[in-house]
Structure 1
Amino acid sequence: MVQLLWETVWHFLKRRGLIRACPSDEREAVQKKTFTKWVNSHLARVGCHIGDLYADLRDGFVLTRLLEVLSGEQLPRPTRGRMRIHSLENVDKALQFLKEQRVHLENVGSHDIVDGNHRLTLGLVWTIILRFQIQVIKIETEDNRETRSAKDALLLWCQMKTAGYPEVNIQNFTTSWRDGLAFNALIHRHRPDLVDFSKLTKSNANYNLQRAFRTAEQHLGLARLLDPEDVNMEAPDEKSIITYVVSFYHYFSKMKALAVEGKRIGKVLDQVLEVGKIIERYEELAAELLAWIHRTVGLISNQKFANSLSGVQQQLQAFTAYCTLEKPVKFQEKGNLEVLLFSIQSKLRASNRRLYVPREGCGIWDIDKVRLRMHGDSWRRQNMSGRLPYGLS
C-alpha cells in the first residue's frame, strides 16, 4: 500500500515536471503500470484483480490463475499456506507449466518472483505476453511471405492497416506512435464511424492519444493500458506499446473472423431459402401435373366413341391435337420436375444436409405409377374398341 501511494505521488509530480526520472526508471514505471492493467484485463474474466504487480504475483495464486485464463488449461492446484516455501512451490508450478509450453525462461527462478524482483517479474510477465498474445499472430501478405518474428508480423500488420493515412508512418513501436495518429488510424481503418481522422493534426499529440484511448475503451471494450504521457515522451517504452497495440490486433482480428463467419452463415441461410423456393416450385408443378393426369385418366375411363363418321373425325382431330400439343408439354413438365428434384438433392448433398423427400403422392415415382396406369387404361380401351383413345404412349 505504501509503495502504491508513493508511485501515485511520483506520477503526479512527474506530470507536472517537478521531478525528472532517469530513462530506465521511467520505462520500468510505465511497464509496471501497463503490465498490471494487462494482467487485470485478463483476470477480470475470473473475478480476480491485483493492485501491485510485484507483490501480488509472489504467492503464485494469481500467476496460476492468469496462466489458466490465457491457456485455457488447468494447472496443478496451488498449495495452501502463507509460508515462503508454499509460495516457492506455487510459483515453481507456474514456471514448470511455461516450460512445458516451450517458453524459454532466461535467468528467472521461483525465488526471483517470490522475492519481488522488479526486473525479473517484469521480464516474466513480458515473456507470458509474448507467448500467449504475440507469438500467435499470423499475417497474410499478398506475396505469401512469412515474417521472421511475431514482433515483425505485428509491425507489418500495423503498416498494412495504416497504409495511405497522411502523416502516419509506422517504423517501430516507440516514436512512430508518439503523435497518436497511428492509434487513430488503426481504429478508423476498422471502424470509420468512431474517428474523424481528417480533423486530427500531428501537432496535437496528447489530444490524439486521449481520443484514441478513450474510443478504444468505450466503444471497443479494450482496457486502457496506456496514458498519453506514457507515449508522448522522448523514448516511449517499446514493450508497453506492443502490449497495447496487440490488443487492437486481437480485437480487430476477432471482428474480421466474426464477419467472415457471419457471411458464411448468411450464405448458408441464402442456400436454405433458395432450396426452399425450389422445393416449393417442385411441389407446385408436381401437383399440377398429377391433377392433369387424373383428369386425363377420367376422360379416358369415361370415353364414349361416336357412332357417326363426323363424330369419329372430330374425336380423331381432338386426339391429334392432344398428341401434338398437350401431351409433349406435359412430358416436358415431367422432365422439368426431374431436373428440379436433382437440383434440390445436389444442393443438399453439397451442404451435408438431409436429402429432400417429396410429400406422399408428389414424387417422380408417384407420377410414373399414375402415368403407367393411365397408359394401361388407354391400351385396354384401344383393344376393346379398335380405335385410338386418349392416353400417354
Structure 2
Amino acid sequence: MLIDMNRVYRQTNLENLDQAFTVAERDLGVTRLLDPEDVDVPQPDEKSIITYVSSLYDAMPRVPDVQDGVRANELELRWQEYYERVTVLLQWIRHYTVIFEEKRFPGSYEEIEILWRQFLKFKETDLPNKEADKNQSKFQYQSLEGAVKSGQLKVPPGYHPLDVEKEWGKLHVSILEREKLLRIELER
C-alpha cells in the first residue's frame, strides 16, 4: 500500500504533503520539485504545481480505455462462442463418421428398412442443420480472423475452419459409403 489512508486523516496538511511527495519520489521516480511549506499556503505558485502534476501524470501507468476493456471482453465472448460451436460440431461429425463407417448390418430386412429410414432422416434433417452450424462457425471465425492474425487469439490445433472442413469431408465419404452399403443390403 502506497499510502495508509487511516494515517492521512490524523496527520496535518504539511505531513500529508510530505508523505505524498516522498511516495511519489520513492515509488514513482518523480523528482521532488516542491516543498510542503510552498504548497500549503493560500496562493501556491501555479506554474510549479502544474509542472509537478505533469511529471506525476507522465510517471503514472496508462489506464486502459474503457472501450479497450469492452472490446477485449467482447472478443473473448465471441471466441468462446466460436470455440464451443466448433467443439460440439466436431464431436457430432466424429460421432456420425464412426457410426457410418460400421460395415455390419442386422440380419432382418425390417431392421435394414429401419436403418434406411433413419439414414434418410439424417440426410434430410440433421445434416443440413449441422451444415448451417458449420457455415455459421466459418462466419464467426472470419470475424475473429484479425485478432488471430495479430496474435490476440491463438487457435488450438483442429479448430481452424479448414480443420472442420477436413472432418466434414470425412463424414461425407462415410455417408456415401453407408448409403451404398445400405442400398446393397436393401436389394438382397
TM-score (norm 1): 0.33
Q: 1:267 to 1:252 in 2, by over 3 A?
A: farther
CA distance in 1, matches of 2:143, 2:78: 8
Q: Is the 8 A contact 1:282 1:341 kept in 2?
A: yes
Q: Is the 8 A contact 2:147 2:153 kept in 1?
A: no
Q: In the alignment, which residue of structure 1 is the partner of 2:38?
A: 226
**Residue 262 of structure 1 is aligned with which of 58, 63, 72?**
63
Matched letter for residue 311 of structure 1:
E
Q: 1:227 to 1:358 in 2, by over 3 A?
A: closer
> Secondary structure of 2:64's match?
helix
More helix by proportion, 1 or 2? 2
Post-superposition offset of 1:285? 3.2
Q: 1:319 to 1:277 in 2, by over 3 A?
A: same
Post-superposition offset of 1:308? 4.8
The higher-RCO structure (CA 8 Å, 6+ apart) is 2
- 1:380 partnered with 2:180: no
Q: In the alignment, which residue of structure 2 is the partner of 1:296?
A: 96
Q: How does 1:87-126 map to 2 (within 5 A)?
A: none
Q: In the alignment, which residue of structure 1 is the partner of 2:27?
A: none
Q: In the alignment, which residue of structure 2 is the partner of 1:354?
A: 151
Greater gyration radius: 1
> Secondary structure of 2:157's match?
coil
> Secondary structure of 2:155's match?
coil
Q: Is the 8 A contact 2:116 2:182 kept in 1?
A: no
Post-superposition offset of 1:302? 0.7
Matched letter for residue 246 of structure 1:
K
> Secondary structure of 2:139's match?
helix
Q: 1:263 to 1:381 in 2, by over 3 A?
A: closer
**Residue 248 of structure 1 is aligned with which of 49, 58, 63?**
49
**Residue 371 of structure 1 is aligned with which of 152, 158, 168?**
168
**Residue 283 of structure 1 is aligned with which of 83, 90, 101?**
83
CA distance in 2, matches of 1:372, 1:227: 76
CA distance in 2, matches of 1:338, 1:247: 59
Q: Is the 8 A contact 1:282 1:337 kept in 2?
A: yes
Post-superposition offset of 1:385? 4.7
Q: Is the 8 A contact 2:83 2:159 kept in 1?
A: yes
Q: How does 1:339-350 map to 2 (within 5 A)?
A: 339-347=139-147
CA distance in 1, matches of 2:111, 2:42: 106
Q: Is the 8 A contact 2:112 2:182 kept in 1?
A: no
Aligned CA-pair RMSD: 4.1
CA distance in 2, matches of 1:261, 1:325: 54
CA distance in 2, matches of 1:302, 1:372: 17
Q: How does 1:166-205 map to 2 (within 5 A)?
A: none
Structure 2, unmatched stretches of 5+, are 1-7, 22-31
Q: Is the 8 A contact 1:345 1:355 kept in 2?
A: no
Post-superposition offset of 1:300? 0.8
Post-superposition offset of 1:262? 0.8
CA distance in 1, matches of 2:56, 2:74: 28
CA distance in 2, matches of 1:360, 1:381: 29
CA distance in 1, matches of 2:61, 2:134: 41
Q: 1:227 to 1:374 in 2, by over 3 A?
A: closer
Q: 1:311 to 1:219 in 2, by over 3 A?
A: same
> Secondary structure of 1:321's match?
helix
CA distance in 1, matches of 2:163, 2:125: 24
CA distance in 1, matches of 2:181, 2:62: 68
CA distance in 1, matches of 2:58, 2:119: 65
Matched letter for residue 100 of structure 2:
I
How many residue pairs end up in the alignment? 165
